[in-house]
Structure 1
Amino acid sequence: MKPISRIFLFLLFISASYAISYAQENQSYFLHTIEKGQSLYSIAKMYNVTTNDIIRLNPGCDEKIYAGQAIKIPKGKESQKGETFHTIQAGETLYKLTTIYNISAKAICEANPGLSAENFRIGQVILIPLEQEQETETAQAPAEKTAIQGPVQSRCKDMHKVKRKETVFSVSREYGISEQELIAANPELKKGMKKGQYLCIPYPSATTMQPTAPKEDPYAIPPSNNELFRKSKEAPQAISTIKAALLLPFQEDKRMVEYYEGFLMAVDSLKRTGTSIDLYVYDCGKDVSTLNTILAKNEMKNMNVIFGPMHQQQIKPLSTFAEKNDIRLVIPFSSKGEEVFNNPAIYQINTPQSYLYSEVYEHFTRQFPNAHVIFIEPTSEDKEKAEFISGMKQELKSKGMSMKTVNENATKDMLKEALRSDKDNIFIPTSGKNVMLIKILPQLILLVRDTPEQNIHLFGYPEWQTYTRDHLESFFELDTYFYSSFYTNTLFPAAIQFTNNYHKWYSKDLVSKFPSYGMLGFDTGFFFLKGLSRYGSELENNLPKMNLTPIQTGFKFERVNNWGGFINKKVFFIRFTKNFELVKLDFE
């Protein structure tokens, strides 16, 4: 063989190998488009993979990721429930997905409560439930004949997930079949029907034994997304009496008692307006065994909403129970639970850090579009705010905003050199500790007094609420801002009224700490109980309409993905103006 021919064949072999390798690789992952606030950790938890799995397919993403970036997620790692994931492609519709995966539109919608006709778009990742069992039944031919069978048809026309208060009668009527047909297809119904149970919906008797499947009309127009989503939507259900449970470690932590006391005040306030509420209260301690004993009680399966727990180790079993029994779970305290990424029943009040920071960055650049940011770094290796500062610098760089860094020991003159006369000069310490404030405030005060023509502000952190008494005058003089997802001014009318009522109810004052657990109990109780009273089963679709003014804790709930739960993205900026006014900035 000539050398040129050998080279050609070798190159051809290499090209073919590369093509096969690429095809195999292309089938080994799907794409996820990063959204604001998502981190590698949260993305990994969404898809039941590790961060190392993602880094392996996306080299460099451990150093930097950004909203809008498409990254590869390895396939083959099923979700926690055994389903798979699908990234919507160009030209795909909900109807097309039902044909690809051989499942009903209703099953897809139930698995993805965050999916709608409005957000069904290219790049969206959705959860595909397990395929319906293809149990088959064929027509029996006479023994003496060997008739050729036609195409086999599935025994189940559809699958139905049993909801609360449904009966054999109501389900059979919903699908236009008799009760006998439903029971024949699901013999286990003879022992009773349970919420969450999946039922095989057989074909009506007139067509069940047809040996061949009906031919599809090639000229028929497939149903639109709007039509399929509308048909798959559950009928709204009002809640006449709200059943709510509090599961908290009362004996172990006195703050839980104050939370409960504030919650009771919310219940009383709503009952006065005609809302019917049955409240169940349990001390769940911190052990999983204690929690399981409570969950075994008959009444727990009938709750509309559960508030708790406090301890991290109890979140997973409680969230599993809530999802299984179609109960909303409000987690008021922890921000580190990962269950919210795969459990649609969860509301997480305390915002996960990456989502919180993302909201702060966006509000910061909107509030200070002409900012020149000056970071003040401590002399020690203090990494307390490293993640926040790193993200802030990345955001400022992406917006083309100027920044500079100075040391905490910088004198007034050194700070003056860092200023820009054409910008709003925003000083941000890279530590939120009080010792840092004590060190930098005197020089900043001298700077402001020496340069009255300059626009100078100080920007900081939620924990500064606890230092206000020590630095109130300095905060006002420096036109200080800090961010927080909770805040109340004791001089606000609502805060005064609540504080006075609390004292009347319990003959004691609220604990002087931030956040106030009494106010947190009132805010969370009032928001969710009012929402369930007003919207019933449609609460999730009406969250933006819940325009309630909280005493302390704001709420802005968004789903983490199409199949997961809700996190609270509400962030306030608190401003101490030079006119000695205290302003709570709400950006919604």
Structure 2
Amino acid sequence: MKRLLSLILICLPALLWAQGAMRQLQHMHQVRKGETWAAIATRYGVSEQALRQANPDVKTKKDKPRKGELLCIPETCPPPEPPPAPVATVSTSMASLNIGVLLPLEEDSGRGAKMVEFYQGLLMAADSVRRGGTDITIHALHTGSTRASMQQLLSAHKQELQHTQVIFGPVDDEQIEPLNEFCMQHGIRLVMPFAHTRGNANQPLAYTATAPANVSATDAAALVDRVMGNDANYVIVNTSKPDTRGALFTGKLKEQLATRGVAARVLNIDGDDFAYESAFNQTQVNCIVPDNTGIKSLNILCTKLLDFSAEHPQYRLRLVGYPEWNTYTKTLLESFFQLDTYAFCTYYSHPMSDSTVSFGRSFASNFGHPMATSFPCYAMMGFDMGYHFMHGLATQGDTFEDRQGGLNPQPAQHHFTFRQDTEGGGRTNHFVQLVHYSPDQKITLVR
């Protein structure tokens, strides 16, 4: 990997690092309800034909691109006219933003490549926000991985960082404390993109964007219980090799059910037909939850459940499980459909959806290479996180903490629902959803 400069100051419109060359960032527009090709083209000062040619894969219905689609705006167009100022309204928006990005951007490793792609997605978000009339300056710094390297960085670059409104980082746990102290001292919002073992209890402007495993498991258990409803017979499948996430979620689910006096049944995966029939109920939906997230045990369970269903069609079976399952669809998609499967997750993007394809095309145009194939997609993560905070601060200003709802209703991959877990403490993202693979072969998101 080519090494990034230790400090990159980017005053948007941004010039982006891409395969040894700097390229002008192509603009993006997220389609709102009712917008037509002609209206969007007029807004950006480009012909409708050029706009359509730049987005050949976007589906059209009655001369309108689908709501939520990310459109690539041809590079030659001027910025759109800013929306008219509201009448008789006091504006809380920010005309300019200073953003810090403190990540291990120079690591010659798989982690370093992911951080660079996250940063590139964040740059795309910054450019989208800039087109609304906000000037944005980004200070990107390579942090290393130690507490000492973070302290040295903050000391050397205090002048530019102390005036930022938000800093994204760090990655390593031992760097949290010095960065947190710096942000508290200067009243800066600290957005920690990735899950950490240390909390944010002492920093009211700290945001944990990826919830720790125990938090997401608790939230997922509550959502599953609500969606499955009272007409559910829960069956925990003991695979004899529970993994960390499986054991955590099934434990939280048992706790959730206990709050309303319901006990889950337990079934050994290698049990015979009689054992399965004894665990299931003919009058309720049988929600089957294994204690292992892996594909090997899931393959075994799916085979057993499908065989059982063929022999006993009077039982209603429903498989409930984990984020990892969404990566197993190449081999298990048909089984998921047949077993009416629900998989909880905190982020999701369908690799073949129009919006994902459009985003990937824009990324490749901007940076000269395709996004890495990963789940989650780090470019989308950077875009969604960057847009949530930069657009939020640009439009809400200092009222951002109290007015975060609906800032980005159609993200590429990540939603954010931040809540304070303790009074005076930081905020954690509590968003969770279920990906439903229904018997009619549809995939929908349930929240």
Q: How far is the alpha carbon of 1:383 from its aligned partner?
A: 5.8
Q: What CA distance in whole angstroms lies between the structure 2 residues aligned with 1:325 and 1:237? A: 20
For the residue of structure 1 that corresponds to 2:403, the secondary structure is helix
- 1:345 maps to amino acid: L
Is residue 521 from structure 1 mapped to residue 366 from structure 2 by the alignment? no
**C-alpha distance 403-330 of structure 1, shift in aligned 2 (>3 A):** same
Is residue 452 from structure 1 mapped to residue 313 from structure 2 by the alignment? yes
- 1:522 maps to amino acid: F
Note if contact 2:243-2:293 (Cα within 8 Å) is conserved in structure 1.
no
- 1:239 maps to amino acid: M
For the residue of structure 2 that corresponds to 1:438, the secondary structure is helix
Note if contact 2:241-2:292 (Cα within 8 Å) is conserved in structure 1.
no
Q: What CA distance in whole angstroms lies between the structure 2 residues aligned with 1:463 and 1:287? A: 30
Q: What CA distance in whole angstroms lies between the structure 2 residues aligned with 1:441 and 1:355? A: 28
- 1:346 maps to amino acid: A
Is residue 354 from structure 1 mapped to residue 230 from structure 2 by the alignment? no
Note if contact 2:218-2:249 (Cα within 8 Å) is conserved in structure 1.
no
Q: Report the more deviating stretch, 256-265 or 350-359.
A: 350-359
Q: How far is the alpha carbon of 1:294 from its aligned partner?
A: 2.5
For the residue of structure 2 that corresponds to 1:425, the secondary structure is strand
Q: Partner residue of 1:275? A: 134
**C-alpha distance 335-424 of structure 1, shift in aligned 2 (>3 A):** farther
Deviation sequence 1:458-504 (CA, Å, 0-9, x none):
01111222222221111111111111111111233322221111122
Choose from 268, 274, 299 the match for 1:407.
268
Choose from 113, 118, 124 the match for 1:254.
113
Deviation sequence 1:169-223 (CA, Å, 0-9, x none):
xxxxxxxxxxxxxxxxxxxxxxxxxxxxxxxxxxxxxxxxxxxxxxxxxxxxxxx
Deviation sequence 1:121-162 (CA, Å, 0-9, x none):
xxxxxxxxxxxxxxxxxxxxxxxxxxxxxxxxxxxxxxxxxx
- 1:551 maps to amino acid: A
- 1:518 maps to amino acid: A
Q: Report the more deviating stretch, 427-436 or 289-298.
A: 289-298
- 1:367 maps to amino acid: V
TM-score calculated relative to the size of structure 2: 0.75
Q: How does 1:148-163 map to 2 (within 5 A)?
A: none
Q: Which has the larger radius of gyration?
A: 1
Q: Partner residue of 2:294? A: 433
For the residue of structure 2 that corresponds to 1:244, the secondary structure is strand
Note if contact 2:384-2:411 (Cα within 8 Å) is conserved in structure 1.
yes
Note if contact 1:236-1:537 (Cα within 8 Å) is conserved in structure 2.
no
**C-alpha distance 355-236 of structure 1, shift in aligned 2 (>3 A):** farther
Is residue 242 from structure 1 mapped to residue 97 from structure 2 by the alignment? yes
Q: What CA distance in whole angstroms lies between the structure 2 residues aligned with 1:402 and 1:455? A: 19
Q: What CA distance in whole angstroms lies between the structure 2 residues aligned with 1:452 and 1:501? A: 48
Deviation sequence 1:540-569 (CA, Å, 0-9, x none):
011234253211111000012221110000
- 1:569 maps to amino acid: H
Q: How does 1:1-400 map to 2 (within 5 A)?
A: 238-252=93-107, 253-296=112-155, 297=157, 298-338=159-199, 340-369=200-229, 370-380=231-241, 385-400=246-261
For the residue of structure 1 that corresponds to 2:419, the secondary structure is strand
Q: How far is the alpha carbon of 1:357 from its aligned partner?
A: 2.1
Q: Partner residue of 1:419? A: 280
For the residue of structure 2 that corresponds to 1:443, the secondary structure is helix
Deviation sequence 1:328-386 (CA, Å, 0-9, x none):
01000123222x11111201011123322221122112111111011110234756533
For the residue of structure 1 that corresponds to 2:436, the secondary structure is strand
Q: How far is the alpha carbon of 1:286 from its aligned partner?
A: 0.8
Q: What CA distance in whole angstroms lies between the structure 1 residues aligned with 2:137 and 2:163? A: 11
Note if contact 2:221-2:249 (Cα within 8 Å) is conserved in structure 1.
no
Q: What CA distance in whole angstroms lies between the structure 1 residues aligned with 2:217 and 2:324? A: 15
Q: What CA distance in whole angstroms lies between the structure 2 residues aligned with 1:383 and 1:578? A: 30
Note if contact 2:100-2:167 (Cα within 8 Å) is conserved in structure 1.
yes
Q: What CA distance in whole angstroms lies between the structure 2 residues aligned with 1:381 and 1:456? A: 22
TM-score calculated relative to the size of structure 1: 0.57
- 1:365 maps to amino acid: D
Q: How far is the alpha carbon of 1:248 from its aligned partner?
A: 0.7
For the residue of structure 2 that corresponds to 1:523, the secondary structure is helix
Q: What CA distance in whole angstroms lies between the structure 2 residues aligned with 1:269 and 1:431? A: 41
Question: What is the root-mean-square deviation in Å for CA atoms of aligned residues?
Answer: 1.9
**C-alpha distance 311-382 of structure 1, shift in aligned 2 (>3 A):** closer
Note if contact 1:412-1:446 (Cα within 8 Å) is conserved in structure 2.
no
Note if contact 1:244-1:279 (Cα within 8 Å) is conserved in structure 2.
yes
Is residue 496 from structure 1 mapped to residue 357 from structure 2 by the alignment? yes
For the residue of structure 2 that corresponds to 1:543, the secondary structure is coil
For the residue of structure 1 that corresponds to 2:328, the secondary structure is helix
Q: Partner residue of 2:438? A: 577
Note if contact 1:327-1:345 (Cα within 8 Å) is conserved in structure 2.
yes
Unaligned runs of 5+ in 1: 1-234
Q: What CA distance in whole angstroms lies between the structure 2 residues aligned with 1:380 and 1:577? A: 28
Q: How far is the alpha carbon of 1:518 from its aligned partner?
A: 0.6
**C-alpha distance 551-289 of structure 1, shift in aligned 2 (>3 A):** same
Q: How does 1:437-586 map to 2 (within 5 A)?
A: 437-586=298-447
Q: What CA distance in whole angstroms lies between the structure 2 residues aligned with 1:244 and 1:481? A: 38
For the residue of structure 1 that corresponds to 2:404, the secondary structure is helix
Note if contact 1:411-1:443 (Cα within 8 Å) is conserved in structure 2.
no
Deviation sequence 1:424-476 (CA, Å, 0-9, x none):
10110011122211221211111222333332110111122222222111111
- 1:279 maps to amino acid: I
Q: What CA distance in whole angstroms lies between the structure 1 residues aligned with 2:245 and 2:125? A: 36
Identity %: 28
Q: What CA distance in whole angstroms lies between the structure 2 residues aligned with 1:451 and 1:512? A: 40
